[in-house]
Structure 1
Amino acid sequence: MSAPSLKGQPWLESTASKAVMAALETAGGPDCARYVGGCVRNALLGATVDDVDIATQLEPQQVLAALKSAKIRAVPTGIEHGTITAIVNSLPFEITSLRRDVETDGRRAVVAFTRDWFEDAARRDFRLNALYANSRGELFDPTGYGLEDADQRRIVFVGEPEQRIREDYLRILRFYRFWAWYGRGAVDAEGHAACRKLADGVATLSAERVSKEFLKLLAAPDPVAAVDAMDEAGVLRVILPRLDRTSFAAMVAITPDPILRLLALLPLSAEGLAEEAKRLRLSNAQRDRMKDSAVMLDADMSAPQARAMIWKDGLSAFVDRTYRTEATGIAPQNMQALRQMALNWTVPSMPVGGRDLAQAGFKPGPMTGKVLKAFEKSWVADDFPSDGVEARLQAAIAQVSLSENG
């Protein structure tokens, strides 16, 4: 294919991008720095560009000096591996010196800096990610296949797949993740075979790296084919030993939420979910969400029962439960109706409080709490009526007083 140009891309033409590239080129000469990776790939694929990364022939200390001279804020985010982050107009630009691997162990690498663009490209994961563009938007394809892969939407390892994987086993998950997001057609056979052969290497990675990468994969518009391929290669069971795919395809069809899609690959029990969340080292918020969603809803749940559950456990937990129940095939139409009701319902506030009891002659203390709980129980059971508040409060007072007086 003829080499396109990225000229006109908003991120490339922005004042911030131009300022960073000008600072580097002033120090190192024309084309000493090039955009690389996701921004180039996504621009070619017509996808959103979220981050702008730059590769440069300058070494880290030279990058720091260049940014300082241009009065651009520099943060040494990964200086031991050659990475400096430049901040312009609150926008980050990750700048990394060209590198070649000296030593790798499947999780981290010892690198040496180089000025050779081909050496830098040779250590990258996929040919599609080894594309560079200079400040004018002119493209550079060191592997000779990156542009063609972009045109055909192929995800192919740079060089020998097994070697790339042994350098960092996370590349197994990235292979399937990029195919889920950007691939078209069948998975690359050679890469897939290498992932199958080296699948156990994923177990050597930190749980945090694995779960973060896997959730990115599950967020793809339709990750079913990628998950199928991971399962066939034996990769999926390394990540999820308790794998249960029964409701996964159905969950993908009804929600793009990666956490809910992950839930559809896990056991239904609360205990099983808690163990998996711990093993995957999910965040506290993600862990709590998984725990809250463990409840399966009754097929014939009514709207009043649903509102009572929302009052008790919260809207988010209830909505997650409707998705999980629907994905298992239980009363899908009712689950959809309940979910829509929940999203449209404004949860009311308790119509009485301690001040109302104080006006009724109650002093703050245990009796106050008991009366409010009695009122709340009755009010929720009757589906949150807005009228009859005074009568309900008197009934609660009478009930608690009777109980207290034996």
Structure 2
Amino acid sequence: MSETLGRPPWMTSPQTTAVLDALEAAGGPDCARFVGGCVRNTLISAAVDDLDIATTLTPVQVTEALTAAGLRVVPSGFEHGTVTAISQGRPYEITTLRRDVVTDGRRAVVAFTDDWAQDARRRDFTLNALYAQRDGTVFDPTGHGVADARAGRIVFVGEPEQRLREDYLRILRFFRFMAWYGKGAPDPAGLAACAALKDQVKTLAAERISKELLKLLAADDPRPAVRLMAESGVLAVVLPGATNLARFEVLVEIESEQLFETDPALRLAALLPDDQLAAGKLAAVLRLSNADRDRIVAALAPTPALKSWMSPREIRRAVYHAGLPAFRDRAKLGWAAAERSAVTPQWRGMIALAEGWTAPAFPITGEDVVKAGVPRGPMVGQVLRELEDWWVDHDFIDDPMSAVEKLKSVAQGMAF
């Protein structure tokens, strides 16, 4: 009996129907099948985000068919057989069936084909080499994809080392798919091949590495996969100097227990040593976004030191100086590094207090300082800094007159 997906909503939506109708008008029935993640995730009752389609049509034919149907076309990977259709705002990545002609571990020269089995043989894992017609009928050319998807087995199509030599990014993809879909022990042959070829990760573009790493860390529980990376030596290649595996594991546990949002950037920070300079250099090597780089560096700042027994006044001062996002990140890292059984309520309370407090605006301006008799120039900034330190030390005193009187006393005591 043939496996079937049924007719899930993503398959029968008006957007999907428009794309398939356009392709079949050019290539006939069964010229296009859903492939990869949407098929796999529907089989295992997981959420479907991306809709990928494989087709016997060439990229030129796909482009002509979509254009004739009034759909927008983006040549997202034309030389490798991929175009993206935009149907009522939803993207569909459409790729011509293909086989590898030449590969070097980073890029491939491909030739188009009309052989579905040949296309399947060049895919990475059996659970990704799955296709489905628009009526829901599933095609499993390797003969193992459906069973492996349901069992959570991440198994390379064919010989693992050959698959990796075609694209060394598959080393990281092996661990990423273990994090998202794996169950139980890893495939021994696949893990051994990843360990043997781990140094080839260095040949990949930094952007590809960081994108795959952050996807891995975004899984609900990436701890077993990251442990495997460490044991196989892959983690040391990707993150030289990553020394806080224990802190990372506790952070993931805290996020789960406390219902915090899954946070791949903070999880990456947790893996790194408490060294802002080293973290900044690693972020540059990985070509992380400026936002992720700045956040990770701020999370690893040594001051102000956060302790679980801080008073509300000390917490407010730390939030004011660090900013709420950095304070929250540093509190979570501190929590993850602590003896949690004793201090969980304190750390949770610190974060709650910080999130419930809005830092007031400093009540004194540069013009106020000038009016108090301080001449314009560097001295104004010096006075402002001294006044702000006083105001923070007095727990952001909400008394404008006290601030004005303090300004007067500071101004009178300075030699101009």
Same fold (TM over 0.5): yes
Is the Cα–Cα contact under 8 Å of residues 369 and 407 in structure 2 kept in the other structure?
A: no
Distance 2:152 2:232 in 1: 21
Cα RMSD (Å): 2.0
1:394 to 392, 397, 405: 405
Offset at 1:208? 1.4
Distance 2:197 2:405 in 1: 70
Offset at 1:364? 9.1
Range 300-309 or range 99-108, more displaced: 300-309
CA displacement 1:263-311 (0-9 Å, x = unmatched): 2221112222122222222111111111111124342433222212221
Structure 1: which amino acid aligns with 2:349? Answer: A
Offset at 1:333? 4.2
Range 156-165 or range 393-402, more displaced: 393-402
Alignment of 1:1-80 (within 5 A): 3-80=2-79
Is the Cα–Cα contact under 8 Å of residues 373 and 411 in structure 2 kept in the other structure?
A: no
Is the Cα–Cα contact under 8 Å of residues 375 and 393 in structure 1 kept in the other structure?
A: no
Q: How many residues align?
A: 402
Q: TM-score, normalised by structure 1?
A: 0.93
- Residue number in structure 2 paired with 1:337: 349
CA displacement 1:194-222 (0-9 Å, x = unmatched): 11121111111112111110111111111
- Residue number in structure 1 paired with 2:323: 314
Question: Secondary structure, in 3 states, of the residue corresponding to 2:414?
Answer: helix
Percent identity between the two aligned chains: 51
Instruction: Indicate yes or no: 2:148 matched with 1:139.
Output: no
CA displacement 1:9-45 (0-9 Å, x = unmatched): 1211110000000000000000100111111111112
Offset at 1:363? 9.2
Offset at 1:400? 2.2
Is the Cα–Cα contact under 8 Å of residues 370 and 400 in structure 1 kept in the other structure?
A: no
Alignment of 1:167-316 (within 5 A): 167-244=166-243, 245-255=245-255, 256-296=262-302, 297-299=305-307, 300-316=309-325
Is the Cα–Cα contact under 8 Å of residues 130 and 138 in structure 2 kept in the other structure?
A: yes
Q: TM-score, normalised by structure 2?
A: 0.91
Range 206-215 or range 345-354, more displaced: 345-354
Distance 2:242 2:373 in 1: 56
1:362–1:77 CA distance, 2 compared to 1 (3 A): farther
Range 79-88 or range 184-193, more displaced: 184-193
Unmatched tracts of structure 1, length 5 or more: none
Alignment of 1:349-388 (within 5 A): 349-353=361-365, 365-366=376-377, 369-386=381-398, 388=399
Is the Cα–Cα contact under 8 Å of residues 372 and 408 in structure 2 kept in the other structure?
A: no
Structure 1: which amino acid aligns with 2:336? Answer: A
Alignment of 1:109-120 (within 5 A): 109-120=108-119
Structure 1: which amino acid aligns with 2:387? Answer: F
Question: Secondary structure, in 3 states, of the residue corresponding to 1:195?
Answer: helix
Is the Cα–Cα contact under 8 Å of residues 195 and 234 in structure 2 kept in the other structure?
A: yes
Question: Secondary structure, in 3 states, of the residue corresponding to 1:289?
Answer: helix
CA displacement 1:337-370 (0-9 Å, x = unmatched): 2112111212222334457668x67799446555
CA displacement 1:114-140 (0-9 Å, x = unmatched): 000001110000110011111222111
Question: Secondary structure, in 3 states, of the residue corresponding to 1:237?
Answer: helix
